[in-house]
Amino acid sequence: MQPFESLESGVRYYCRRWPALFATASGSTITDEAGVSYLDFFAGAGALSYGHNNPVLVEVAIEHLRAGKVLHSLDTFTEDKRRFLHAMHDLILEPRSLDMVVQTVGPTGATAVEAALTLAQRVTGKRAVLGYDGGYHGMSYRAASISASMAGRETVSHLGAFRALPFVEHMVDHDLELLDQALSSTIDGEQVGAVILEPTQGEGGARPFDPAYLGAVRALASVHDVVVIADEVQAGVGRTGPFFAFEGSALDPDIICVSKSISGLGLPMAVNLVRRSLDRWTPGEFTGTFRGNNLAFATSATMLETYWSDAEQEKATEDRGVIVRSHLSAIAEEFSGGSWAVRGNGMLSGLEVSSGDLADAICDAAFADQLIVETCGAGGATIKVLAPIVIDLDDLHDGLGRLHRAVATVTSGS
């Protein structure tokens, strides 16, 4: 497939999983140049929770460009950033009693994580970081160094003072002892200043933490003067039902990293929400050229106004998640006698099969049936269902049917 094979770096990955040349996209569907349409249960790795080319947001973007509005603004004041900040405050922060300020950062999740770690160190004077087995926080040097698992792929080795605690699905007393001890211990001679976790792990296998444990993290981190960072890059912005995946627990994070779907349209954008009392940055201390994507501010504000002015989307996402997991459970029952595990919440769900090779084969068979779906989790053995949260029910059932067929095809041939 020229010119990709001759000119593009060997690091390219998803094109090997889905060797089509994509041209157009709409909602839950992406279509190749030959006109073949695929149902997209990967949704831009979670950046397209509101679907491809969401028509409401496309109109906002077109109008923004037609009107000659500012596109790039660093962190100067603009009309669209004002509208975004109002929407974030009125629709997300205030209703959840979060007294936080918004820090715009360079446009990737990893940058948000870097900023969060830097601020935590700045505030506490302590450099070591605690994370979790299965955590994934991005590919910048430091973010990769605190990512304990790369779903079975090669990873950069751990750097600096970092320790991964075991993931906690169902809390027992020992988990609390381990956490308490880790928060107060030193790692490579450094004291712990931050604990970072994804309330529901994405790359780690669509795994929600025990909400009781999240509350314990908050309580113990406060005792030890440790900053709590919630990485909501993948699970946030409504992916698990509520706007933040930690809702329903007492995690009460100090810093929340948000990216991926925050623009609503898949545009590059990331922000950190920072507890007001911890916002100790001095002007320009953490900077970046692409912190002012006004097209993304405009679509984000409209996304928040459209989907987060009431509780309807949250409910719709939860209902769809129930459908997904009941299908996955039926597949697990039929093809493994129930030994495969089903995990997740909202529209971040996974089916852990017996091996990474089997999961790969199922994804390949799904692609042959025009369904895009990817693996995650330990050994890459979990098939992750990450369809847009706004997917219509016919498409959802259609895609789940294709997944069922893919499993049947692969298991009957083995």
Residue 354's region, left for phi above 0, alpha for psi from -120 to 50, else beta, is alpha
Q: How far is the CB of 35 from ligand PLP (least distance, A)?
A: 30
Q: Does 256 bind ligand PLP (CB under 6 A)?
A: no
* Span 178-237, contacts to ligand PLP by CB under 6 A: 198, 202-203, 231, 233-234
Distance of alpha carbon 49 from its chain centroid, rounded?
10
* Span 45-64, contacts to ligand PLP by CB under 6 A: 45
User: Residue 48 corresponds to which amino acid?
Assistant: L
Nearer to ligand PLP, 61 or 229 (CB): 229
Cα–Cα distances in Å, from 342 out to 206, 240, 248? 9, 15, 21
> Is the preceding omega at residue 3 within 30 degrees of 0, hence cis?
yes
Interface pick for ligand PLP out of 49, 54, 103, 108 (rule CB under 6 A): 108
Q: Which residues contact 399 (CB under 8 A, 6 or more apart)?
A: 28, 39, 41, 371, 373, 387, 391
Q: How far is the CB of 70 from ligand PLP (least distance, A)?
A: 24
Q: Does 374 bind ligand PLP (CB under 6 A)?
A: no
Nearer to ligand PLP, 202 or 380 (CB): 202
Could you count the other beta carbons within 10 Å of the beta carbon of residue 181? Answer: 10
Q: How far is the CB of 380 from ligand PLP (least distance, A)?
A: 15
- Strand locations in 120-267 (E): 128-132, 162-165, 186-187, 190-197, 200-201, 207-208, 227-231, 255-258
Q: Which residues contact 295 (CB under 8 A, 6 or more apart)?
A: 61, 64, 65, 71, 80, 263, 267
User: Which position's Cβ is nearest ligand PLP?
Assistant: 109
Task: Give SS3 for 115.
Answer: helix
Q: How far is the CB of 112 from ligand PLP (least distance, A)?
A: 7
Q: How far is the CB of 236 from ligand PLP (least distance, A)?
A: 9
Binding flags for ligand PLP, 133-152, as an x/- string (CB under 6 A): ---xxx--------------
* Span 26-45, contacts to ligand PLP by CB under 6 A: 45
| CA pair distance 400, 391, nearest whole angstrom | 12
Q: Does 114 bind ligand PLP (CB under 6 A)?
A: no
State the Cα torsion 248-253-259-261 to the nearest 10°: 10
| CA pair distance 7, 321, nearest whole angstrom | 40
Q: Which stretch binds ligand PLP (CB under 6 A): 102-110, 210-218, 238-246, 337-345?
A: 102-110
Task: Give SS3 for 290.
Answer: coil
Q: Which stretch binds ligand PLP (CB under 6 A): 81-89, 117-125, 130-138, 244-252?
A: 130-138
DSSP conformation letters of 179-195: HHHHHHSEETTEEEEEE
Q: How far is the CB of 363 from ligand PLP (least distance, A)?
A: 17
Q: Which stretch binds ligand PLP (CB under 6 A): 103-111, 248-256, 299-307, 389-397?
A: 103-111
Task: Give SS3 for 224.
Answer: coil
Interface pick for ligand PLP out of 43, 87, 88, 110 (rule CB under 6 A): 110
Q: How far is the CB of 204 from ligand PLP (least distance, A)?
A: 9
Q: Which stretch binds ligand PLP (CB under 6 A): 106-114, 119-127, 154-162, 387-395?
A: 106-114
> Residue 315 is encoded by which pair of tokens?
């409910």
Q: Which stretch binds ligand PLP (CB under 6 A): 14-22, 116-124, 131-139, 379-387?
A: 131-139
Q: How far is the CB of 234 from ligand PLP (least distance, A)?
A: 3
Q: Which residues bind ligand PLP (CB under 6 A)?
A: 45, 108-110, 113, 136-138, 198, 202-203, 231, 233-234, 259
